[in-house]
Structure 1
Amino acid sequence: MIELGGSAVLADVVAVADGGRARVPDAAIEEVGRAHELTRRLSAEVPIYGRTTGVGANKSAAVVDDDAHGLRLLRSHAVDAGPELPERAVRAMLAVRLNQLCTAGSGVDPAVLRALEGMLNGNALPTVRAHASIGTGDLGALAGTALTLMGERPATGPLEPMGPWSSDSALPFISSNALTIGRTCLVVDALGRLDRAAAAVYALSFRGLDGNPSVLSPAAVRAAAAPGVDVVAERARRLLEVPAGPTGQSAVPPARIQDAFGLRAFPISQGAFTHALGVLAEQAGRVLGVAQENPLFDLAGEAVVHHGAFHQAALGLALDGCNLALAQTGPLVMSRIGMLNEPALTGLRPFLATGQVGASGLMMVEYVAASALGELRAAAQPASLGTVVLSRGAEEDASFASQAVVQAERAVAAYRTLLACELVGAVRLLRQRGVVLPAGPLNDALELAAALPADDADRDQRDDLEIAQKLLDALAWV
């Protein structure tokens, strides 16, 4: 049982997305109830956006605070289009929104929290489509969720409908970027595993090519003077069992005084990505457990705060930064794949082919890797550069963090393919060279890779890449 009481962390969101049961503590329900009563009193005393007024460009229009206003707001905002999002993304959205609501700044009816808890635990989910969000609130997805909770839209499983919502819950519930944040949590989790797996794949290539380990030495790390390099170099040192001495030399003599960038610059390039991923994880962790509804109710000061904290500029920039950092690792992966195919470096046939002269071996695997690199680069185009003016000029900018996370999801798939291509080549090289690894983490990685087919003849290699992609998650924990 995963507790979502306002202090959940990224791993909790991932666990709920993967089917874990959620629980809202009674203390959180009581606090939300107190906030709800306060907001009902304040709404009778001062104008409140979306409750006693319209929204967007209608913010100056006074309305009656009644059930009909809240229902109209939800129905009019429940608009989205495009393909349906996967169940995992929807569950992540619900987990984030439930955790946020427990911080008691929205003024929402506490019954909504129990209903969301039941929706998750019964896996009776709303249908959410791809297009609606712009980085200033996932309004369409959350309004559709509200209609599903009330029984106006079908859920994916049996769900006891709530009664009609009034305006004290309508805007407060949808005023969130929970879908974007939830998807970001899933991206961070996936990229964290691939980041660790990348070190294992690199180490296998490094050993197969007899790389020079001095690039992993403490002196080389200090010279880089960049964040993340120490973490990546330490991962590689442990896998290759390189002593942490001043030169970082190991028992295996290097084949070259100085390697190509694919081996030599890996700690710097991968370190930049590792650091950017850490920045993204930190920002996602901040926003998944904070009240950002507009308006926000300050319980201690008994005041209504109208603000723009929902504008996810920082999250969008962190996503863009992570996508860019990931894309710049791609050329070095391609460099290593090229090295694995080069007879002058391996002492073997071109493309690690066997059989007849002119056999293609891993030639087309390199083409697949290049295609994945192209996708990485396309996904790295900064979404934060975009802007839009909406609602008769009332909202004149958007962070497009929602687009940045879509691009990050594309990047995850492309990066997985790129690493799988290198893994197939590294394992084939080690096998053809007859390299025997001593007991240790790198040997553990190679034993995991035993699932890859041993037949090096020219044949259909689609299955090889699919197996290699699945192996990456296991390699992350070596």
Structure 2
Amino acid sequence: MPIALPGPLRVDDLHAAALPIIVEFPEPVSQAVAAGRDFLAAARGPIYGATTGFGALVGYAGRDTAADQADNTLAHLGAGQGPDLPPPVVRAALLVRAGSLARGLSGVSPHVITALTAALGTGFAPAVPRFGSVGASGDLIPLAYAAQALRGRGDAYLDGRRMPAADALAKAGLTPLVLDGRDALALVNGVSVTTAALGLAQRAARRSHLALQLLTALLTDLLGCDPQFLDARLIAAYAHPGAAVVADHLRAALAGMSASGTRPLQEPYSIRCAPQLLGAAHDALSYVDGVLDADLASVSDNPLLFPGDEAVLHGGNFFGQPAAFAADLLAVVVAQLANLAERQLDLLVDPARNTGLPPMLAAGPGRQHGLQGVQLATTAFAAHIRRDATPAGMQSLPTNLHNQDVVPLGTQAALRAYDQAELLHLLCGSLALGLRQAVHVGARRPTAPACAAVLARLEAAIAPVDPDRPLDADVRLAAGLCEDAAVEFSLKPRP
């Protein structure tokens, strides 16, 4: 489905932008953008970035010509360092930027938005270094690299291959973008990289959250646990809405299950408290959803133009504090979900707690090692996620001659959450692989139809670990399978 600007954009649109997409810039929207541009041309008095220097140098006059002003805007921001951002993040950022500019309050030339939509219709992605943004006056440095690539300067990717940006534009059939000072500033003066990374991280975390619910149900069924910890009366007394949602989901997944009667009266917290833990995550993820909805509907820029009121207003709508707080919260949620997945796998491989299955789920302990390597890796993944969960949104350092005397550092927070969500995905795959192997080495087959369907999907795609083999690819495959199954199950109507 084409995406029509200015939106509202959705998180799924950001994910779709990883591949060539059709983004429409309807004529009425283009005309409104043009009206803002005409108002800018007629406006009198100093206008930040159009007639002035930038940042702490706003008190000085800008360059004499429009082209020089654009060069001056972007050249001094070419200070990023480190590895390139993943192209899907950069392409999602181009879509977010187009959505903001298309709202008609930035005074940008319509052809700038047309260039963004044209690039998104191809496999073009600017090469953007990871480090350099404080997420305050927008994602200035990373977006400057994106703007330069659209001009044919620097480097870019085309269909995953890195090359000079001019070559990538030519091969994609794109024309180098022509900018003046206001256009250049409008491209960089927003937190579009932050919003894009947070949106992609949130989507990945939500999929893993659903997968962990289904995997928790499968673990409960394979071990033969008593499901009374999901009783609706018990959960209602807890009074937290997320716990009720998750418990309903788990009860649906376990419908038809028969308890074995051999388990302890009270299961470990990684099973018994799963609705409370996953429910709290549900509520926190809902907060992040709200921040993203606002970010994707907002104009992140400075100044903003209101032609109907003949007003040019200078302010701070480029300040990414909401996304910074949301990304920090997401990091904490991902860390606790990672803890849950790691502890559930640890329970599953331990013969003292897994109803007598062989250690490490090895088909022939000693001669074979089963999930031993996978479990070691999950410990490393969980530790890595936990170590990086320190909040970024309160690490403010004054910069830019104290013009930016407080900064949110949301870009760092969002990119960190993006990385963590990928590790959580692998933890889910590791647990899914363990559950598939558990049945091979003696666990009972699931008694709930929904759990049996998940196991059947895993068994059809992944052979048992017998004999030992490298399991890295199997973990990735299992992660995708269980997340797809969880999303499908979540969409089924409930009785």
TM-score by length of 2: 0.89
Distance 2:477 2:313 in 1: 53
Distance 2:376 2:145 in 1: 43
Q: Which stretch has the larger CA shift, 439-448 or 258-267?
A: 439-448
Residue matched to 1:381: 390
1:5 aligned counterpart, secondary structure: coil
1:173 to 150, 173, 187: 187
Distance 1:445 1:56 in 2: 55
1:276 to 284, 289, 292: 284
Residue matched to 1:185: 199
Residue 3 of structure 2 is aligned to residue 2 of structure 1: yes
Distance 1:29 1:73 in 2: 25
Residue matched to 2:84: 84
Q: Contact conserved, 1:17 with 1:95, CA < 8 A, in 2?
A: no
1:452 to 462, 468, 471: 462
- The answer for unaligned runs of 5 or more in structure 2 is 155-164, 490-495
Residue matched to 2:309: 301
Residue matched to 1:461: 471
Query: What amino acid is aligned across from residue 19 of structure 1 in structure 2?
Result: P
Q: Contact conserved, 1:125 with 1:157, CA < 8 A, in 2?
A: no
1:239 to 234, 243, 253: 253
Q: 1:338-392 CA deviation, whole Å, 9 max, x = no partner?
A: 3212334412322222325675433333222111110110221111121122111
Residue matched to 2:259: 252
**How much does 1:98 deviate?**
0.7
Distance 2:469 2:86 in 1: 34
Q: Contact conserved, 1:50 with 1:167, CA < 8 A, in 2?
A: yes
1:369 to 349, 363, 378: 378
Distance 2:27 2:73 in 1: 29
Q: Contact conserved, 1:6 with 1:290, CA < 8 A, in 2?
A: no
- 1:20-169 equivalent positions in 2, closer than 5 A: 20-42=21-43, 45-63=44-62, 66-67=65-66, 68-136=68-136, 137-153=138-154, 154-155=165-166, 156-158=168-170, 159-162=173-176, 164-169=178-183
2:126 aligned counterpart, secondary structure: coil
Q: Which stretch has the larger CA shift, 363-372 or 174-183?
A: 363-372
- The answer for unaligned runs of 5 or more in structure 1 is 243-249
Query: What amino acid is aligned across from residue 244 of structure 2 in structure 1?
Result: D
Residue matched to 2:337: 329
**How much does 1:286 deviate?**
1.1
Residue matched to 2:274: 266
Residue matched to 2:160: none
1:271 aligned counterpart, secondary structure: helix
Q: Contact conserved, 2:169 with 2:176, CA < 8 A, in 1?
A: no
**How much does 1:179 deviate?**
1.3
Distance 2:470 2:147 in 1: 49
TM-score by length of 1: 0.92
2:309 aligned counterpart, secondary structure: coil
**How much does 1:12 deviate?**
1.8
Q: 1:105-128 CA deviation, whole Å, 9 max, x = no partner?
A: 100011111111112113333221
Q: Which stretch has the larger CA shift, 344-353 or 305-314?
A: 344-353
Distance 1:2 1:313 in 2: 27
Residue matched to 1:402: 411
2:435 aligned counterpart, secondary structure: helix
Distance 2:114 2:447 in 1: 55
Residues 190 and 331 from structure 1, CA distance in 2 versus in 1: closer, same or farther, beyond 3 angstroms?
A: closer
Residue matched to 1:230: 244
Distance 2:476 2:366 in 1: 28
Query: What amino acid is aligned across from residue 62 of structure 2 in structure 1?
Result: V
**How much does 1:65 deviate?**
6.2
Q: Contact conserved, 2:359 with 2:365, CA < 8 A, in 1?
A: no
Distance 1:104 1:187 in 2: 28
Q: Which stretch has the larger CA shift, 354-363 or 260-269?
A: 354-363
Residues 262 and 35 from structure 1, CA distance in 2 versus in 1: closer, same or farther, beyond 3 angstroms?
A: same
1:347 to 340, 347, 356: 356
Residues 163 and 15 from structure 1, CA distance in 2 versus in 1: closer, same or farther, beyond 3 angstroms?
A: closer
**How much does 1:454 deviate?**
1.8
Q: 1:121-162 CA deviation, whole Å, 9 max, x = no partner?
A: 133332211112111211123223333333344253425435
1:218 to 232, 236, 240: 232
Q: Contact conserved, 2:202 with 2:330, CA < 8 A, in 1?
A: no
2:482 aligned counterpart, secondary structure: helix
Q: Which stretch has the larger CA shift, 323-332 or 395-404?
A: 323-332
Q: Contact conserved, 1:4 with 1:95, CA < 8 A, in 2?
A: no
Q: 1:23-82 CA deviation, whole Å, 9 max, x = no partner?
A: 11111111100111111112xx22211222111111111336631223321222243221
Residues 64 and 12 from structure 1, CA distance in 2 versus in 1: closer, same or farther, beyond 3 angstroms?
A: same
2:82 aligned counterpart, secondary structure: strand
